[in-house]
Structures are given as C-alpha cells and as structure tokens.
Chain A
C-alpha cells in the first residue's frame, strides 16, 4: 500500500525502465549499435534518405521493429492478464484461461499442416490470420457455451469451466496436428507454441500497435467496474454494474489484445500471470493503478526476456516463451511467500 507520492514514483520508474530496456534491446545483439547510429538512422529515416549504412539498416529494419513489437506484445499480454484476474477474482488466472492462446495455437497448427494445400491468399499474413481466427473462434465458443445455461450469478464459474474444456479441445487439436505433421511442420508448430519475435516487421508493429492502443485504452475505462467486482458480483450489481455486459466487454478486449499479439509472435506464457502479481505486491490491487502499470511492466518484462533470449546462446536464439517461464517461474516462486493477500 503506497502513498500518492510513491505511486507517482513507481510510474516514473516504470517509464524510465521501459525507455532503458527498449534502448538496450535495440542496441545489443550480434552487432552492437551505438546510440549515435540509432539517432542518425532515425534522422535519415524521417528525412526519407536512402543512404543508410549497414548498422543503421540493421537498426531500422530489424532491431527497432523487434524492440517495439516486444513492448506492444508485453503490454498486451500483461493487460490481458490483469483484466482476467480481476474478472475472475482469482490471482492464478492468465489470458490463456478462456481459450484465446490455445485457440491461436490450434489455428497456427492448422496452418502449418494444411497451409500448403490452401490457396495463398494473404501471403505473409496467412499465419497471423489463421491463428487470430483460431483465437477468436475459441474465445467466442467459450463465451456462447458458458452463457447458454441460464443462471446469471454463477456464469463466471461457467466461463472458467467452459474455458478449461475448450482449452483441452484446442490443445488436443494441436497435439493431433503435430502427430500427423511431417517433421519440418511439426517443428514449426513446436517453435510457434514457444513464441518468437524473430519475425518482427514494421507491418506487425503497425497492426499490433493499433490493437494494443485500442485494447489498453478501453481497459483503462474498466478499472472502476473491476474494482467493485472484488466485493463479489452481488455487491457489484448493487453498485449499478451490468455484470453480463462487463463480462462481454472484457472478453472482446481480451481477444483484441491477446489474439492479435499472439498471432504475430506465438504463444508466450507467464507474462500475463506474473506481471499483475508483481504489481500487486508492489502497490496493492487497485485496478486503476494495476491496469496502467501492468502495460508498462509487461513491456519491460518482455523486452528484457527477448534480450536474454537473443544473448544467452548467441548466435542461436532461445524461444522466448521458454525464457519467460524458465526465469519467470522461479522468481515467482521466490516472491510468493512474500505476498500479503490477507
């Protein structure tokens, strides 16, 4: 629990941290790029000159889009996680719970196996499109199945249980497809479900940027209704909250944030779970703070993770999803005894 001054300090700290981690993740790699080169590259880019040298081109075409994509995806996943935890009033929930990530994985797996048979209509967008569609379908399925049975008070539980079932279906579809797949396809499926940012491009940044801004912008407006949910659904309704509508809104935002982000980078687990947790330890559970800071910390978290993924086994690259879990989980376990939920 922090005073207003300390809250401000946390925010400034997060902003500075974000800036530093973006600069570092753009600078460090197989070729290291100095800050002067970054500035001159951006300058030349703005003036629309073509005479960029090799380092400047690496920065503009590879590093910068990747660093920005990291920021956007991290922010999206962490915000999605805070929304889910607040909606389900459960600190162990993450965005994958209502089928979004596993649906995306199933869509992507289908693409890897069947893609060659499909007419290539959307060129490089076919994979993101397939996984995004999978995510949307799975989430929509969860929502409609869970609201079919009519007992309004318990439908958050229904949402949770339906989510688990749909997750199981999607994951078994992924399993089946990897079993059926020939070797290179199966490897693609495996890599994709561990996440990678190596495919970052300016187009991916543009599309993810749009979904992230829309999604997070809308999420801010839900902070108050979500706070009342901490008292329970009954109390929230007595305060004038339309629970059914809130639930649908959160699901839609969730799809916008997580489906689009996941479709470009694959499944990255743990960010949506650990980031809201860390923040709760830091400044309590007020969703007004949590949602805003989760976006910032999520971005930092994923930027640092991506840096580590690139540097650890240099020049090879570790799948980022493995890194977020392998580092995130022990840190999380160390911090858990310090939580004060009571």
Chain B
C-alpha cells in the first residue's frame, strides 16, 4: 500500500500539486491520467522520492519514505521511465544486471545471476543476450529496461511488498508493445506482491487495463475510482476540455455507461 496524505508541491510560484491524498492498493493496476501540466509526473517523482516532499506525507506500508536509505529504497521500489539511452556501448545482460547493483558490492552473487536469468526469460530477451544495447530497436531497448527495473525488485520468495512506478513508459512504443507491456505487468502482479502506480497518456489503454484510475487536473484529484466511474462524460469534458462525443466512440466497448 502506498498512502499519500495532504501532498503539495510548489515550484517557484506555481502550485504543481495541491493537497492530494490517496491510497494506492497492492495487486491492482493504478493508473494516473490527466491533461498536460496536471502534475502526473510530479506525483510519480514524489512517490519515488526523486523529488522531496516538503509538505504532506508519503508512506510505503506504514513507513514514511524519507526514513529509508537510498540503498534500501532501491531494493524495494523501482521506476520505469521513458526510453533511456546509453552513452557508451554495453551488452544487454550487463544492462539487466545493473538492476541488481543495490544488492551486491564487488561481485554479483549467484542469486543475482539467477534473478537476471529469470527476468530475461520472463521478457523473452534470450535472443538479445550478447547484443550491444545501443544497436537495439526502441521496443527492444524498452523491454531490456523493463527487465532491468524488475530485476531490481524481483521477489519470488517473501511476501514483502515491492513498489513499481511507471513514468509514461509507453510513450515511444508502438501499439503491439504497449499491449505487450501492460499484459506482462498484469501477469506479474498475479505472481508477486506489488504496488503498481503508473502515469499514462493513452485513455484507451487506461480504460482497458487499469483497475483504479486517478484523474488529475491542475494539481488536484478531479476523480478517482474504477474505470467506469472516472471516465464519465462529465469527467472527460471537465478534465481534458474536449467533447465527450469525440472520444466516446473509440472506447465505447469498454466503458459504456
């Protein structure tokens, strides 16, 4: 469970987030939607402690996140962001192994190699092993990154919760990989205890895959709840300022209210 309580964030004179409280439950896909500048990425960055939280609290379970050391935080929460490029060439399996860096000093343990093998199998990356990361296509790179990020919080043994945050990870991917990612993610949530919170732009994908939606507008929560509750005619018009009928037909089949 991730609990945020009365969270605000100011940058200069602008209120990016204003008094936000919410609970993200484990085992369900929580997606945050909203127009540009609504504060979605700011919220994800605060939950992942990339940004400090000067006012309000963020709890992982019952612990405020500022209590964790950088290393122990790295072992329990991972962030998948947009495609990352490497400055120097590196092999795919080395990139995946980076996800295990918080766990060892010097030489990787057998467990670390096992986890890498697990995630490589899970994401069908076997064929890419041995390749130079920089020569991969965008979709392949993002799959490698997904594998690396999950290697960081891979947890098959204990029941301790891990936290996975998604910061618009699908932006540069084609529709096949977008579906592929979200499906893999849903599968994984069945197998491992995870809290997943993501920011996504595509309302169709949100409607199709999310269990819980949060609609942000101008730094406040406009609506939250199930897909049907959040993607209502009024909310779409209020939140995005476009006519309901323009989007209506396209995801009619999932949220026919």
Contact = CB atoms under 8 A, between A and B. Distances in A.
A338 to B, nearest CB: 13
B74 A239 contact: yes
A179 interface: no
B81 interface: yes
B70 interface: yes
Interface stretch (A8-16, A228-236, A313-321): A228-236
B235 interface: no
Nearest to A2: B91
A227 B98 contact: yes
Interface stretch (A139-147, A280-288, A297-305): A280-288
A231 B149 CA distance: 12
A1 interface: yes
Contact of B134 (A240, A241, A341): A341
A241 B73 CA distance: 11
A238 interface: yes
Interface string A302-342: 00000000000000000000000000000000000000111
Interface in A52-109: 89-91
Contacts of B132: 1, 284, 340
B190 interface: no
Contacts of B75: 240
A342 B87 CA distance: 9
Contact of A238 (B74, B95, B105): B74
Interface in B65-96: 69-75, 78-79, 81, 84, 86-91, 94-95
B90 A230 contact: yes
Contacts of B56: none
A90 B87 contact: yes
B135 interface: yes
A1 B130 contact: yes
A89 B87 contact: yes
B152 interface: yes
- Considering residues B69, B74, B84, B89, which has the most beta carbons from chain A within 10 angstroms of its beta carbon? B89
Contact of B90 (A224, A232, A235, A285): A285
B145 to A, nearest CB: 9
Given A224-B101, A234-B81, A240 B86 contact: no
Contacts of B84: 231-232, 235
Main DSSP-derived SS at the A contact region: loop
Contacts of B30: none
B89 A340 contact: yes
Given A91-B88, A238-B48, A228 B98 contact: yes
B88 A237 contact: no
Nearest to A290: B88
B102 interface: yes
B79 A238 contact: yes
Contacts of A89: 87-88
A90 B87 CA distance: 7
A342 B135 contact: yes
B88 A239 contact: no
Given A228-B101, A239-B98, A240-B70, A341 B89 contact: yes
B50 interface: yes
Contacts of B88: 89, 91, 230, 280, 284-285, 341
Interface in A15-30: none
A238 B152 CA distance: 10
A331 B179 CA distance: 49
Contacts of A182: none
Nearest to A85: B88
- Considering residues B81, B87, B135, which has the most beta carbons from chain A within 10 angstroms of its beta carbon? B87
Nearest to A341: B89
A284 B91 contact: yes
A239 B102 contact: yes
B90 A286 contact: yes
A90 B130 CA distance: 24
A5 B48 CA distance: 40
Contacts of B71: 240
Interface in A218-269: 221, 224-225, 227-228, 230-232, 234-235, 237-242
Contact of A240 (B74, B90, B135): B74
By Cβ-Cβ distance, the 10 closest A-B pairs, closest first, are A240-B74, A285-B88, A240-B71, A89-B87, A240-B70, A240-B102, A230-B86, A238-B79, A231-B84, A224-B101
27 contacts: A1-B130, A224-B101, A224-B105, A227-B90, A227-B101, A230-B88, A231-B98, A234-B81, A235-B81, A237-B70, A238-B50, A238-B78, A239-B74, A240-B71, A240-B74, A240-B75, A240-B101, A241-B70, A284-B90, A284-B91, A285-B88, A286-B90, A286-B94, A340-B89, A340-B132, A341-B89, A342-B134
